[in-house]
Amino acid sequence: MNVQRILVTGRLYAELAALLPDKRPDKAFRFVAEEELTDDDFVWADAYVGFRPAGPFSLANLRWVHSLGAGVDAFLWKREWKKDVLLTRTVGSFGEQIAEYCLSYLLRDAQCHDVYAWHQEQRQWKPFAPKRLGEQRVVIYGTGEIGRRIAETLRLFGVSPIGVSRSGRDTPPFSAVYRHEEAGEALACADWVIAALPLTEETHHLFDETFFACLHNAGFINVGRGATVEETALVGALENRNVRLAVLDVFEEEPLPPHSPLWVHPNVIITPHIAALTSAEDAAQSILDTLRCIETGEPLANAVDVSRQY
């Protein structure tokens, strides 16, 4: 594939303007803020780099689209895609970042930080033993790159993570992997469920009332995509204690609307989609590596299977 004119947008466009042209002076770049994109930009470009389709986005003249995030649902969800347009995604330190995010909340809960903070406010001296992380039963939905990194990290603390995937295929470092429809027994015993799934037709609202009914006072973390969770079902699960604590970094609508009951629920922790952030350096390296592979015909580890939507 011969790519010559690369249109770069999104929140990192100015930083990427300082990193890319000197590395590939043989390419023509345009660095444009999303709100300033015009039809002319898409007529000019044969490649597009951004977090999402922005402005008068059009695939008509594009040969390559590169997502600056790990997820690609912004490009594929409820959209038609041209089969001859290559879609790739950024692969950086996302798995490591998300694993640390999940670990921080599991440790916070196991070490009873909130309980001891309350006791301190009350000036009460009430020692009791924290839970050991290795004794926690953790189920991870998604056994791809990010799910595996979470599992690897938890194994360092003695956890034997169970995976749930579309295929149910055995995947190290999970102690066992189940298909979605076979996970009921594992869910019934889970202390934590971590959702790290992409958004596809199959995963849309996968975490619904039926799913939450399988849980018994479990913690729930979503670091995948917000629309995999039916939020009204989650609120109901919090009320009836199927879920005792929800840690949510992603939501079906972002920013989360002010009227959402999740904002004020005492057993919900909200973070604004920051579990894994793309740095300009990671983004630039991913763009350059992908471009090199495109030109040399090397295998693309970050190519998206459009038919599977991830």
Short-list 287, 243, 297, CA closest to 51: 287
What is the CA 202 to chain-centroid distance, rounded? 16
- Structure tokens of 193? 């469920």
CA–CA separation, 208 and 238 (whole Å): 13
CA–CA separation, 266 and 286 (whole Å): 40
Beta bridge partners of 176: 162
Query: At which residue do the structure tokens 């005492």 appear?
Result: 266
Burial of 212 from C-beta contacts in 10 A (0-12 / 13-18 / 19+): buried
CA–CA separation, 295 and 202 (whole Å): 34
Give 285's contacts (C-beta < 8 A, 6+ positions apart): 92
CA–CA separation, 198 and 308 (whole Å): 10
- Helix, strand or coil, per DSSP, at residue 152: helix
Contact 306, 77 (CB under 8 A): no
Query: Which residues participate in catalysis according to the annotation?
Result: 225, 254, 273
CA–CA separation, 104 and 5 (whole Å): 42
CA–CA separation, 224 and 210 (whole Å): 19
- Helix, strand or coil, per DSSP, at residue 109: helix
CB neighbours of residue 189 within 10 Å? 12
The residue length of the chain stands at: 310
